[in-house]
Chains A and B, each alone.
Chain A
Amino acid sequence: MSRILVPVDGSENALRAVRHAAKLAREQKPVEIHLINVQPPLRGGVTTFVGSQTVREFHVEEAQKCLASAKAELDKAGIPYDVHICVGNAGEQIVAFADSLKCDSIVMGTRGLGGFAGAVLGSVSNDVIQRANIPITLVK
């Protein structure tokens, strides 16, 4: 059983990674797909004034929006999956979840910036590559 973590953010790049994971699931069963969406934390100023329950609901709601296209894609293909939602730094959380879920690999989309542009604009895939110690497939 191979367990794949697929981080998604609702973008077309992420959807390509989902399709690739779905292809792996069809071709080399059994594969267990775990979708994950990492929400940016609200800034301290905001959480001072709004209750914790509301903040959680907000994060889950926003995350569901980001997950919708990926879930639809896998539902259509009839591939089972698990969903995870968390809040924090994307790269850090993706690797932490890959670790705690004991995933064998990470399949993720990339904006394909890399190099200088990636360093300046901030690349989640670069960050994950640096932190993770399991195989990573970047889908472009």
Chain B
Amino acid sequence: MIESVIEHLYDPLFWTGLVQIIVIDILLSGDNAVVIALAVRSLPPAQQKKGIFFGAGAAIALRVIFATFIVYLLQIPALKIAGGLMLFWIAVKLLAPEDGGDGENVDPAKNLFQAVKTIVIADAVMSLDNVVGIAAAAKGNIILLILGLLISIPLIIYGSTLVLKLLNRFPIIITAGGALLGWIGGEIIVTDPLLIDWIDANAHWLHWGGPAFGAILVVVIGKIVSRRRVGAKPEDLAATARK
């Protein structure tokens, strides 16, 4: 075990994988943190701590469960193609977020149970994006996968507004991250057991062409979709806050 860890330290592929995973974690863990922070807002301070504890715990547990499944699923023929297409979709969603607007008409949580329920449901949806990204970037390397999960934990617990501000300040991170997800999506599609033999024999260039195509595809679609969205109308929240 130790020897295999040391071996990794000299492997450039390990380090590129790790950097990819960190970027994916930053991009796709922040939302969980924001949901946790918002869901516990209406609770008394003592319960807020409990809510964050259970909420973050659930988010981490769900990631471990999803990750275990996905690593096995990605070995089945055709499922890598499906995973790659899912990554394209996650990337476009990242580049062209739906305007959350005012949010749904959900009442603030009245107790700890309601808050944790909200967090767990949101976690289930949002962890899946993160785990698919990590699993694809880890390329079956279990140490990378575990590191990816570990790195996401502090981001889920402490990251709430930090990630939001970082992405807002440097929007290039989102574009780069979207391109990265597209690249990884292309990469796992061309290495699907259904395609790999044919590609190795006939179109070896697809090993870089596929990922490059994936990266360009999602950035272009993302730009087109986000350009179509109309900007939010100006509304002064300070006015409602004063009332």
Q: By the criterion CB–CB under 8 Å, are A51 and B106 in contact?
A: yes
How many residues belonging to B are interface residues under a CB distance threshold of 8 Å?
Answer: 45
A49 touches which of B35, B164, B237, B241 (Cβ 8 Å): B35
Q: By the criterion CB–CB under 8 Å, are B234 and A122 in contact?
A: no
Chain B residues 202-230 with CB under 8 Å of chain A are none
Q: By the criterion CB–CB under 8 Å, are A45 and B108 in contact?
A: no
Q: Does A27 contact B (CB under 8 A)?
A: no
- Stretch of B10-18, B120-128, B147-155 on the interface side: B120-128
Give the chain B neighbours of A87 by CB distance below 8 A.
Answer: 232, 235, 237
A54 touches which of B108, B236, B241 (Cβ 8 Å): B108
A67 to B47, CA, bound (A): 29
Minimum CB–CB distance for B225 against chain A, Å? 12
Q: By the criterion CB–CB under 8 Å, are A45 and B164 in contact?
A: no
Q: By the criterion CB–CB under 8 Å, are A93 and B234 in contact?
A: yes
How many residues belonging to A are interface residues under a CB distance threshold of 8 Å?
Answer: 39
Q: Does A63 contact B (CB under 8 A)?
A: yes
Q: By the criterion CB–CB under 8 Å, are A122 and B41 in contact?
A: no
Q: By the criterion CB–CB under 8 Å, are B105 and A51 in contact?
A: yes
Which residue on chain A has the smallest CB distance to residue B171?
A122
Known: A40-B164, A54-B106, A55-B100. 14 other contacts (CB 8 A): A42-B100, A46-B35, A46-B122, A47-B103, A47-B104, A50-B38, A50-B103, A52-B102, A55-B102, A85-B238, A87-B235, A88-B234, A89-B232, A122-B169
